[in-house]
Each structure stands twice: as C-alpha cells, then as structure tokens.
C-alpha cells in the first residue's frame, strides 16, 4: 500500500520497513500489517505505529539475527525520522495466529521505544486478533481475513475480562509511584476494555474515553478529562512522574471499572 497513513514521512519509512522484511524473510513472510490507531482511524503524531508480521514459521539463528539488525537500523534513523523509534509489533507464526488457545506463546516482539526485539506475549491476545481481522491495513500480503477465522465475541470478552482482572490485581499491588504515561495508559486501557465488554467490539482509546465520559458516573470526568487533554508523546510522558493525586484516583478507577466488569461478565455467563 502506497499511503497506509496520513503521514508522508511515516509512509516512506513503512515502505522501507516493508521492503526490508520482504528481502530478509522471503517466502517465510506471509504478510505485514498495520493495526492499532492507524487502522481504526484516530492516529496522530503521538501514536505508536503498531504492526504485525505473519510468518509461515517462527525464526531463529542467522535469519533472526538479520531481522534484529534490520530493526536496529530502522530504529537508528530516529534523529531524522521521528517515527523510527515508535514502531511496535510482533511476529505471529501462522499456526499460532490461527490457534485461539495459543495465547501463552511468546512472539518475537519489538516494543515502542526499544531497539532490540524480545520474546513476549504482549500482542498474543484475542483482542489483537479481532482488531487485525476487522481493521488490519496490509503493507504486504493478502487481505488479513483470508488468514484466520473471525474471533468469537464471547471468547474475546472472556479474554478481556481475564486480562482486566489479573492486570488490575497487579497494578493495585504495585502502589502509586509511576510515570504519567503509565497512569494515563491504565486509565485509557480500562475505559477501552470495559467498552469492549459492553459492546462486543474493540474501539480506540480516544473513542472509549469519550464513551466512558458519557456512560460512567460523572465523578470520574475529572480523571478522564485529564487523560484526554494531557496528550503528549509516550517518550515525554514516560520520564514525567505521575501526579500522586491522579495516580491514586486512577487506582480507584481500576477498582470501580473491575467491579462493573465483574458484574457484567457474571451476568453474561449466567445468561448463556
């Protein structure tokens, strides 16, 4: 695709990114796709560039090192191209992508702001699969809907509920010291996941924050407005300490949202 986003410099970088993947991975590359904010249509200059590669089979050895080195070279273009350090994504072997129970498989993963790939389950969720099926923008390869079956909504909701519950417990255990990025990410994440539970669809963080303002108790509008208005790059927010009052309020919000999700999910299970 010649113009996958509205940003000319990012499109040029993605063209090089795609060409490099084709050259290195050859026939093992089934497809390369944009997801996230670029795919759902609310990307701005502060967004991550979320991608997914689909492979015939996982890679290691010299081929893996060649891909690692290529991604390092892309990252090192950041002094001239802002987007070069904001690529974030994973590489799915096709068998893992198509197996909705394989969510514990650690994919090759490149984090936003990272120069080195690791192994992580970060993108290996039913939510990511659902978003890809519905919204993926192909940089290379076929229409994504030809690669896997649609994700059953009830399975996606169960996945979302489990993540909300387990991550919420982890967040509350850690305490209140954190960065602005983490504080805002938590708030947006819980708006988005609750929105998914109630609608059966995955929405952008921006749309879910607006939905939360209209739907949830108005007592949370101050926190939601703070996240909506304080929009900055993740690099800036990551080094800025969170306001202790905002962080405390965010932890209270996690408890509130998880109590709603528990009631909602239990009711759905009862009605099945």
CB contact set of 184 (below 8 Å; sequence gap of 6+): 227, 230, 237
* Cα separation, 190 vs 198, whole angstroms: 12
pLDDT mean across residues, the chain: 91
To 10 degrees, the CA torsion angle through 194, 198, 203, 208? -50
- What is the length of the chain? 272
Q: Are 179 and 242 in contact (CB under 8 A)?
A: yes
Query: Assign residue 20 a region: left if phi > 0, alpha if psi is -120 to 50, beta otherwise?
Result: alpha
Cβ-based burial of 8 (10 A; exposed 0-12, middle 13-18, buried ≥19): exposed
Q: From CA 172, how far away is CA 177, in angstroms rounded?
A: 11
CA distance 173 to 184: 18
Q: How confident is the model at residue 13 (pLDDT cuts 50, 70, 90)?
A: very high
Q: What is the pLDDT of residues 95-145, one digit of tens each?
A: 999 999 999 999 999 999 999 999 999 999 999 999 999 999 999 999 999
Report the pLDDT value the prediction gives residue 238, as an integer from 0 to 100.
62
32 falls in which pLDDT band (50, 70, 90)? very high
pLDDT of 151 reads: 96
In this prediction, residue 237 carries a pLDDT of 65
Express each pLDDT in 37-94 by its tens digit: 888 878 888 788 999 999 999 999 999 999 999 999 999 999 899 999 999 999 999 9
According to the model, what pLDDT value does residue 43 have? 87
From residue 177, alpha-carbon distances to 180, 242, 248, 254 in Å are 10, 7, 9, 15
Higher per-residue confidence, 242 vs 208: 208
Model pLDDT, residue 57 = 98
How high is the pLDDT of residue 242? 83
- Stretch 181-197: mean pLDDT: 92
Tell me which H or E stretch contains 81: none
What value does the mean pLDDT take over residues 217-229?
Answer: 92
Integer-rounded Cα radius of gyration of the chain: 19
More confident residue, 2 or 257: 257
Q: Of 271 and 220, which is predicted with more confidence?
A: 220
- Distance separating alpha carbons of residues 61 and 66, to the nearest angstrom: 9
- Give kind and range of the element (H or E) at residue 51: strand 49-55
β-pairing, 49-55 vs 87-93, is parallel
Judged against a pLDDT cut of 70, whether residue 25 lies above it is answered with yes
For the cut 60, the answer to whether the pLDDT of residue 219 exceeds it is yes
**Looking at the predicted structure, is the pLDDT value of residue 20 above 80?**
yes
Task: Please indicate whether residue 37 or residue 149 has the higher confidence score (pLDDT).
Answer: 149
> What's the pTM?
0.89
C-beta of residue 52 within 8 angstroms of C-beta of residue 33? yes
- Report the alpha-carbon distance of residue 111 to residue 225 in Å, rounded: 27
Q: What are phi and psi of 51, to 5 degrees?
A: -130, 160
* Selection from 36-45, 172-181, 219-228 with the highest mean pLDDT: 219-228
Measured CA to CA, the distance from residue 117 to residue 138 in angstroms comes to 22
SS3 113: coil
Which of 48, 83, 34, 87 lies closest to 188, judged by CA? 48
* Least confident stretch, 97-101, 179-183, 220-224: 179-183
């Amino acid at each position: 695709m010649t113009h996958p986003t509205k940003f000319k410099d990012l499109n040029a970088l993605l063209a090089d990114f795609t060409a490099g993947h084709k050259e290195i991975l050859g026939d093992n590359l089934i497809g390369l796709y944009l997801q996230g904010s670029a795919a759902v249509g609310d990307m701005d200059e502060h967004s991550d560039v979320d991608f997914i590669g689909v492979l015939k089979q996982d890679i290691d050895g010299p081929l893996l090192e060649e891909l690692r080195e290529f991604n390092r070279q892309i990252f090192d273009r950041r002094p001239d191209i802002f987007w070069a350090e904001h690529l974030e994504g994973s590489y799915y072997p096709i068998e893992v992508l198509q197996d909705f129970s394989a969510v514990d498989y650690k994919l090759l993963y490149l984090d936003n702001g990272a120069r080195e790939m690791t192994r992580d389950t970060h993108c290996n969720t039913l939510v990511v699969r659902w978003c890809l099926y519905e919204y993926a923008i192909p940089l290379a390869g076929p229409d994504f809907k030809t690669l896997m079956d649609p994700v059953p909504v009830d399975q996606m909701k169960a996945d979302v509920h489990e993540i909300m519950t387990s991550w919420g417990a982890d967040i509350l255990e850690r305490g209140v010291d954190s960065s602005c990025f983490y504080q805002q990410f938590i708030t947006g994440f819980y708006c988005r996941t609750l929105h998914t539970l109630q609608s059966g669809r995955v929405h952008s963080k921006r749309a879910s924050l607006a939905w939360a303002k209209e739907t949830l108790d108005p007592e949370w509008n101050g926190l939601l407005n703070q996240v909506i208005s304080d929009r900055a790059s993740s690099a800036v927010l990551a080094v800025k300490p969170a306001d202790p009052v905002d962080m405390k309020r965010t932890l209270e919000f996690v408890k509130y949202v998880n109590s709603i999700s528990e009631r909602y999910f239990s009711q759905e299970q009862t009605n099945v």
